[in-house]
């Protein structure tokens, strides 16, 4: 197992709430959290506890009401929208429960697109995309469109797309939630191997306690704070 080293994601005193019709729903109440390079952390909490909100804040998709979020030591609270977009594109990868692959493009093209948006040439993007798909054992299906792939294959392509730009942090929201147990385990192994091989820091929200216990540590949300989880 790779030894965790420098902190690449840090939440410091993060607060966030949503206004409902008749009350304010506090999700985070001064949450602190650190994620280090090469570390896989599971986030386990009941539905509605705020797992997706936490991932959105950590991924700079939303701005917290208070506190600060640091990516590789850089405070992101005062970044402009354009700077936040660049941070997401270059430093953060996302994997969701639903793969969200573009249906009109092949698996290879889906992995190439974020690289080309970043500015890589078509040939360089294609080479890296093929390497990733091969690593995730879906290379022979590279020219197939999503509808022609199994659920496990689609999710492995989604993982390849998420890490195509070599991000520092991977945020995954129920990445195996739609898969059967056998396929779920296989996809997790692929994600785990890729993360450890590259030193990628990964925060994975999951309801699957068996998978959570295979990660480096497990945290949960309790009274608006991020705390260690105990089975």
The 10 Å CB-count burial string (b at 16+, else e) for 124-150 is: ebbebbbebbebbebbebbebbbeebe
Q: How much is the pTM?
A: 0.88
As a CATH number, domain 7-228 is: 3.40.50.300
Helix residue spans in 92-222 (DSSP H): 107-118, 122-135, 151-162, 181-198, 209-212
Task: Read off the pLDDT of residues 86-143 as tens digits, 9 standing for 90 and up.
Answer: 999 889 999 887 778 999 999 999 999 999 998 999 999 999 999 999 988 899 999 9
Q: For residue 51, what are its two tokens?
A: 């797992």
CA distance 54 to 27: 9
Half-sphere exposure of 188 (CA within 13 A, CB side): 27
When pLDDT is averaged across residues 63-88 and rounded to a whole number, the result is: 92
Q: For the chain, give every domain's residue range.
A: 7-228
Contact 77, 14 (CB under 8 A): no
């Amino acid at each position: 197992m790779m030894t965790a080293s420098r902190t690449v994601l840090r939440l410091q005193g993060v607060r966030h709430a949503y206004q409902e019709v008749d009350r304010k729903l506090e999700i985070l109440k001064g949450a602190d959290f650190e994620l280090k390079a090469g570390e896989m952390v599971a986030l386990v909490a009941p539905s509605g506890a705020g797992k997706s909100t936490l991932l959105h804040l950590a991924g700079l998709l939303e701005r917290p009401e208070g506190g600060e979020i640091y990516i590789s030591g850089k405070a992101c609270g005062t970044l402009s929208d354009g700077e936040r977009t660049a941070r997401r594109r270059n430093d953060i990868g996302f994997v969701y429960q639903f793969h969200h692959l573009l249906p009109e493009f092949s698996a290879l093209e889906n992995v190439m697109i974020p690289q080309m948006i970043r500015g890589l040439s078509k040939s360089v993007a294609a080479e890296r995309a093929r390497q990733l798909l091969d690593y995730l054992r879906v290379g022979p299906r590279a020219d197939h469109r999503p509808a022609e792939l199994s659920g496990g294959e689609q999710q492995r392509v989604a993982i390849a797309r998420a890490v195509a730009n070599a991000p520092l942090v991977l945020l995954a929201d129920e990445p195996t939630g739609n898969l059967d147990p056998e396929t779920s385990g296989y996809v997790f192994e692929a994600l785990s191997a890729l993360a450890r091989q590259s030193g990628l820091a990964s925060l994975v929200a999951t309801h699957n306690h068996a998978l959570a216990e295979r990660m480096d540590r497990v945290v949960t949300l309790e009274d608006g704070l991020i705390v260690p989880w105990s089975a």
